[in-house]
Amino acid sequence: MQVPQQVPRPRVKKGTKASPDWHRTRYEPGGTRGYNQSVEFGLRDFRPQEFETVWRIDQNCFPPGVSYSRLELAAYLRRPGAFCLVAESSPTRGEISGAILGFIVAETGSRGSGHIITIDVLPNARGVGVGSSLLRAAEERLRAANCHGVILETAVDNRSALSFYKRSQYHVVNTIPRYYSNGVDALVLKKDLLSAPPPANLPQ
């Protein structure tokens, strides 16, 4: 996999048109978070017509060799048990919908284990809880699907991702040499969804 960056399981059921569960946080689209600036964002299920948008977010978040091609991302979204949640800003006056700030793709496994495939948050929306919200919501959905644990992969040199997962109580269980097409190794991380996880042993 990949990252970057709180919300319980979304209230919107797949296939419904209900509004997202909105949350207020400080966020300034220009990339600088202002003291008096705030925006509401909500989580909801991905819509197929948003594929190009989420693919471009992935290209923005990760370098070549780590980011997905259109074919790869489409294949992950079609995997059995896969689901995708997006974080969307609250619509401004006159808009029908807000902007997508980030997304997460995850899947349920056949042996009670979930898998976080990717989590992407636009650079100017990081640090305000968008990624944590996406991850927490995905974990709750995996629990509801009777997954007792969840794994993910991230590049060994992605310090911000490692710090993020450490705070989210993931720990390293394995290393996969040359996992990414650019030759970078991946760390496999795991979290127990049913009980308190062991102390994280991520690189400092």
Q: Determine the Cα–Cα distance for residues 128 and 134; give it in Å rounded to an integer.
A: 12
Asked if the structure places residue 159 within a domain, the reply is: yes
Q: How many domains does the chain have?
A: 1
CATH number, position 143: 3.40.630.30
Range of the domain at 36: 21-192
Q: Are 4 and 118 in contact (CB under 8 A)?
A: no
Q: Are 203 and 170 in contact (CB under 8 A)?
A: no
| pLDDT by 10-residue block (mean), the chain, 204 residues | 39 33 36 44 95 97 90 96 94 71 93 93 89 95 94 93 92 94 92 68 49
Write down the H helix ranges in 120-170: 130-144, 159-167
How much is the pLDDT for 8?
31
Look at residues 196, 199, 195, 145 and name the one whose alpha carbon lies nearest to residue 171.
199
How much is the pLDDT for 50?
97
How much is the pLDDT for 106?
97
Asked if the structure places residue 15 within a domain, the reply is: no
Asked if the structure places residue 199 within a domain, the reply is: no
Tokens 């310090």 locate to 159
- Strands (DSSP E) contained in the chain are 21-25, 39-45, 82-89, 100-108, 113-121, 149-155, 171-176, 186-192
Asked if the structure places residue 99 within a domain, the reply is: yes
Asked if the structure places residue 4 within a domain, the reply is: no
Asked if the structure places residue 14 within a domain, the reply is: no
pTM: 0.76
How much is the pLDDT for 109?
85
Asked if the structure places residue 97 within a domain, the reply is: yes
Asked if the structure places residue 7 within a domain, the reply is: no
Q: Determine the Cα–Cα distance for residues 109 and 124; give it in Å rounded to an integer.
A: 33
